[in-house]
Chain A
Amino acid sequence: MSGPTAYQVDHVERAAQTPDTTQPWAELGLKEDEYARIREILGRRPTSAELAMYSVMWSEHCSYKSSKVHLRQFGEKTTAAMREHLLVGIGENAGVVDIGHGWAVTFKIESHNHPSYIEPYQGAATGVGGIVRDIMSMGARPLAVMDPLRFGALDHPDTARVLPGVVAGVGGYGNCLGLPNIGGEIAFDPCYQGNPLVNALCVGAMRVEDIHLASASGTGNLVVLFGAKTGGDGIGGVSVLASETFDSTGPTKRPAVQVGDPFAEKVLIECCLDLYAAGVVAGIQDLGGAGLSCATSELASNGDGGMRVHLDRVPLRDSSLSPEEILMSESQERMMAIVEPARLEEFMAVARRWDVEATVLGEVTDGSHLEIFWGEELIVDVPPRSVAHDGPVYHRPLGRPAYLDALQADTTAGLPRPATEGLGRTLLDVLASPNVCDPAWVTRQYDRYVRGNTAQAMPDDAGVVRVDEETGQGVAVATDCNGRFAQLDPYAGAQLALAEAYRNVAVSGARPLAVSDCLNFGSPEDPGVMWQFAEAVTGLADGCAQLGVPVTGGNVSFYNQTGDTPIHPTPVVAVLGAMDDVSRRNRSGWQDEGLTLLLLGTTADELDGSVWAQVAHGHLGGRPPRVDLAAEQRLATVMVEATARGLVAAAHDLSEGGLAVALAEGVLRHDVGATVSLAGLRSRDGVDSFTALFSESGARALVAVPDPDVAAFEALCEEHSQPVLRLGTTDGTSMHVEDTFELGASTLREAHTGVIEAALARDVTPRHAATGRATGEGRRASGS
């Protein structure tokens, strides 16, 4: 092992003198024309350190080279009116929304899919850590996390390895970090078998004047690296993972995974907040994927000058790391700040108080280049924008998949439907299915109470947290996606994901304000996948424009597939809403008897892609439910106003499993029953009892209203042309659908609970990935 000084570095002067040196650009995932472009930008061959930087920053997940041309729609379709509440838009670490009274809220969702397949615990843990640092880097105090998770079949042996590891990792990191976990999703489908989706969301808040940005400005200002030491974590994790397939030839071929230290991150959060409060941070950037390569090039390119960095000053955990490795290391729990020299001593004093190591690496210059030195040698001398922002842009070929016509033609029309006497049994089967069952096995492993601001968490429709402890002002966040719908029609599927998250926020009583997305897809090199991606992005952008809520940022994750089979398109959509007093939020179940149950919205025969089709027939085909965003908007307006006026006792959105599941969940929430009649619904909407109960039509909600307020609520509906129907009342301890079935809460509960633990108890397998193919992954975002 050689020390850093003994390392034979490739420097700029040498690169200029040896233009013909063969370089491993292909091994680093670069294409021939990309390598040629680097040589053209620099007017010489790159040094090995420059090559490392370009390769990692021009990888799919850092450069968005395949998705960029489509993601532009999010900006182009955002109108001036939609920007009204937007303080920081796409392109920064996370978008920032003005929620009023001087408060700014930032939120973002990202993926950590492939690392979580390889090492479920650490993969999931570092996914949480990464998104929390994104939020911190905006100047915000992180408030809460959420985790949309998708796994292979619940009864598959490898799910018994991946699921517990991921859940323990999300919990282990988030709990130790002291952030409440307020929601998310858990879904199972064989399409995620070799490629689980581990998405993580963080929401944070700050006063409007405390927003911080990732830019390095002011000649002479210092570049300070602080937090954990740099080790060999995930070296090449980004670019090698993103471009190569690895097989099961043994542990040596596995990439170094990142290990998270949530304690270090907790200390880093408090340290950052103290630094912000002291006013000593002129610019800040977190270190995530692509580590120092990303942080230095992004800070420098967002600034007004150049930057000089002495790489040999980076505190190392492993002294044998080469400069290229230091630039690419993904060691966790690190941040980079720009600090005025006069404030450095204050900065260092705060860092010392928290026992956080901080090192001045260099300074902002009046030049235009990012210069990185290793000892005396200049090893990087590049225009920073060429690394961070001006990467390649691909117009990948698109093609509507050939199978889609047949898939859409294969509707549920021909499938046998249960007779009236079988509807109770059907409900129990649906309640016991993996995608509808009680997720408590997962959610009870997360601390939902820490910091004492959680007004609502799982299993309610949206997570709700207080931002201002004096006034009760706060936010609601929901994430949703039905990959089955997106498989049938990615344009509609993305809009349905948006509609459901929007509805969940509104049904909780909050006014939807902004969107973040995590777009999980297969390989962009597959024209069918690329078509799905383009359709989904267009659908989402169009949907956001119609609803008037802007996309504020997000993340793209490509190469999610098992073998050559891509996952269902899974555009996970997170919607954030604001409330003036979160203590008024609506829970999804009723606590009192004698409330009137109202159904908002109309029901059509829409069972293609439904949970019923999956559970009863293992069927996926046809067209997803019709998207009606005007109806969603109407529903939201009514729910937000009714909540503010205190007319609502409980409210639950209708989604998977339709009215039947919404009613059952409402009963199970507090063990207070319901008696409803479907007669009015059947005659008004022209549907049979089965369709009334199990159709998954959108823009619907079940609302429990105290008797004295029913007339006012109905008048409000009429005012907004919102269809509303009296279904029945809350009473007793059973779910009674008149003339159809009556099931006791205990019977419902027996079906609904214990499903996940029972499945996990069946299989005990070794903890490691046996075999499998996992490919590229995106985590850091320069914007989506």
Chain B
Amino acid sequence: MRVGVVTFPGSLDDHDAQRAVELAGGEAVPLWHGDTDLGGVDAVVLPGGFSYGDYLRCGAIARFAPVMDVLVPAARGGLPVLGICNGFQVLCESHLLPGALVRNDHQQFACVDQRLRIERVDTAWTGDFAQDEEVTIVLKNGEGAFMADEHTLDALEGEGRVVARYLGPNPNGSRRAIAGISNERGNIVGLMPHPEHCVEEGYGPGLDGLPFFTSVLRAVVDA
């Protein structure tokens, strides 16, 4: 099972995402922002970081990278894609997912071990979770508050596309405490927290991030 991990200039958690894929039992395939094909991978992770320095808007410049020209149609065609943090921002800027991520309401970067509830388990990336399972995943960002108009938020809730929600006090002012969403089909997931930092005992808070990466391996086999 081959999972591509895209490196943009300024990607930071690409190495971590590759390690998570390997620990889950997959083969991590590095993809470069300038690539014009996806090398036949079975799924793609857009990792966290500050692509192009996050200047202008987070994800706004990465969206125009050559690799996105091939990734966007592939994702629309059903390729499993997980955008983590900056990757989520890229997915929103690319209009593969609705809404936007804006500056945290407390105006600071925050790195915390965050409690979440997994609310949708029929996506390509969450199949190995139990419905409404509560997990602890690293959350670290400056612009992580999910924002969309009320109509869009109602639609996301109504269609069951809220994948993960923050528990406890809202950490960043995210609308309806949304931590992650999916497209209708469930192959594309955007997630603000960082599951790739929760895959190895002793390095990060537990192993709750691993199921995101095992799920996709199973989803690809089943597909």
Interface residues, chain A, CB within 8 Å of chain B?
168, 171-172, 175-178, 261-264, 266-267, 354-355, 444-455, 466, 469, 582-583
Total number of residue pairs linking A and B with CB closer than 8 Å? 85
Stretch at the interface among B35-43, B51-59, B179-187, B213-221: B51-59
Interchain CA distance A453-B200 in the complex, whole Å: 10
Which residue of the partner chain, among B19, B140, B142, contacts A452 with CB atoms under 8 Å? B19
Stretch at the interface among B7-15, B73-81, B128-136, B149-157: B7-15
Most B CB atoms within 10 A — which of A172, A263, A449, A451? A449
Q: Determine if A176 and B54 form an interchain contact, defined as CB atoms under 8 angstroms apart.
A: yes
Considering only CB atoms and an 8 Å cut-off, how many residues of chain B contact the other chain?
A: 30
In the complex with contacts A444-B112, A454-B203, A449-B197 CB distance below 8 A: yes
26 contacts between A and B (CB under 8 A): A175-B140, A176-B54, A177-B12, A178-B12, A178-B49, A262-B50, A262-B53, A263-B50, A263-B53, A263-B54, A354-B9, A444-B112, A445-B108, A445-B109, A446-B109, A446-B111, A449-B140, A450-B140, A451-B12, A451-B13, A451-B15, A451-B16, A452-B15, A452-B197, A452-B199, A453-B203
Residues of B within 8 A of A454 (CB): 203-204
Distance of A227 from chain B, by nearest CB (Å): 14
Most A CB atoms within 10 A — which of B111, B140, B142, B201? B111
Closest to B14 in A: A178
Which residue of the partner chain, among A263, A451, A583, contacts B52 with CB atoms under 8 Å? A263
Q: Determine if B16 and A450 form an interchain contact, defined as CB atoms under 8 angstroms apart.
A: yes
Interchain CA distance A245-B200 in the complex, whole Å: 52
Q: Determine if A266 and B200 form an interchain contact, defined as CB atoms under 8 angstroms apart.
A: no
Distance of A434 from chain B, by nearest CB (Å): 20
- 5 more A-B residue pairs beyond the given contacts A445-B110, A583-B203, with a C-beta to C-beta distance below 8 A: A262-B53, A446-B111, A451-B15, A452-B19, A583-B202
Q: Determine if B109 and A172 form an interchain contact, defined as CB atoms under 8 angstroms apart.
A: yes
B 161-180 binary contact with A (CB < 8 Å = 1; else 0): 00000000000000000000
Residues of A within 8 A of B19 (CB): 452, 469
Residues of B within 8 A of A447 (CB): 109, 111, 140
Distance of B103 from chain A, by nearest CB (Å): 13
Lowest 7 CB-CB distances: which A-B pairs, in order?
A263-B53, A178-B12, A583-B202, A452-B16, A449-B197, A176-B50, A263-B10
Residues of A within 8 A of B63 (CB): none
Distance of B85 from chain A, by nearest CB (Å): 11
Closest to B108 in A: A445
Distance of B201 from chain A, by nearest CB (Å): 7
Q: Determine if B202 and A455 form an interchain contact, defined as CB atoms under 8 angstroms apart.
A: yes
Interface residues, chain B, CB within 8 Å of chain A?
9-10, 12-13, 15-16, 19, 49-50, 52-55, 108-112, 138, 140, 142, 194, 196-197, 199-204
Interchain CA distance A136-B142 in the complex, whole Å: 27
Most B CB atoms within 10 A — which of A178, A262, A448, A582? A178
Interchain CA distance A609-B129 in the complex, whole Å: 54
Interchain CA distance A450-B110 in the complex, whole Å: 13
Q: Determine if B10 and A267 form an interchain contact, defined as CB atoms under 8 angstroms apart.
A: yes
Closest to B19 in A: A452
Distance of A179 from chain B, by nearest CB (Å): 9
Q: Determine if A448 and B203 form an interchain contact, defined as CB atoms under 8 angstroms apart.
A: no
Which residue of the partner chain, among A177, A264, A452, contacts B203 with CB atoms under 8 Å? A452
Residues of B within 8 A of A583 (CB): 201-203
Residues of B within 8 A of A176 (CB): 10, 12, 50, 53-54
Q: Determine if A261 and B53 form an interchain contact, defined as CB atoms under 8 angstroms apart.
A: yes
Which residue of the partner chain, among B10, B13, B55, B202, contacts A450 with CB atoms under 8 Å? B13
In the complex with contacts A449-B194, A450-B16, A267-B111 CB distance below 8 A: no
Interchain CA distance A176-B54 in the complex, whole Å: 9
Interchain CA distance A151-B197 in the complex, whole Å: 33
Q: Determine if A444 and B111 form an interchain contact, defined as CB atoms under 8 angstroms apart.
A: yes
Q: Determine if B10 and A175 form an interchain contact, defined as CB atoms under 8 angstroms apart.
A: no
In the complex with contacts A263-B50, A263-B53, A448-B111 CB distance below 8 A: yes
Residues of A within 8 A of B9 (CB): 263, 266-267, 354-355
Which residue of the partner chain, among A175, A178, A451, contacts B109 with CB atoms under 8 Å? A175
Distance of B110 from chain A, by nearest CB (Å): 5
Residues of A within 8 A of B108 (CB): 168, 445
Residues of A within 8 A of B109 (CB): 168, 171-172, 175, 445-447
Residues of B within 8 A of A177 (CB): 12
Closest to B113 in A: A449
Q: Determine if A455 and B203 form an interchain contact, defined as CB atoms under 8 angstroms apart.
A: yes
Distance of B166 from chain A, by nearest CB (Å): 15
Interchain CA distance A42-B162 in the complex, whole Å: 73
Q: Determine if B111 and A452 form an interchain contact, defined as CB atoms under 8 angstroms apart.
A: no
Interchain CA distance A262-B140 in the complex, whole Å: 17
Interchain CA distance A171-B109 in the complex, whole Å: 8
Residues of B within 8 A of A263 (CB): 9-10, 50, 52-55
Distance of B73 from chain A, by nearest CB (Å): 26
Distance of B3 from chain A, by nearest CB (Å): 16
Interchain CA distance A450-B15 in the complex, whole Å: 9
Distance of B177 from chain A, by nearest CB (Å): 19
Most A CB atoms within 10 A — which of B19, B110, B197, B202? B202
Interchain CA distance A447-B204 in the complex, whole Å: 12
In the complex with contacts A262-B50, A450-B16, A451-B16, A466-B203 CB distance below 8 A: yes
Distance of A653 from chain B, by nearest CB (Å): 21
Closest to B199 in A: A452
Which residue of the partner chain, among B12, B49, B110, contacts A444 with CB atoms under 8 Å? B110
Most B CB atoms within 10 A — which of A446, A450, A582, A583? A450
Closest to B55 in A: A263
Closest to A440 in B: B112
Residues of A within 8 A of B54 (CB): 176, 263
Interchain CA distance A582-B199 in the complex, whole Å: 16
Closest to B7 in A: A270
Interchain CA distance A691-B177 in the complex, whole Å: 49
Residues of B within 8 A of A168 (CB): 108-109
Distance of A648 from chain B, by nearest CB (Å): 15
Distance of B161 from chain A, by nearest CB (Å): 27
Distance of A93 from chain B, by nearest CB (Å): 24
Most B CB atoms within 10 A — which of A172, A264, A452? A452
Residues of B within 8 A of A469 (CB): 19
Closest to A472 in B: B202
Residues of B within 8 A of A455 (CB): 202-203
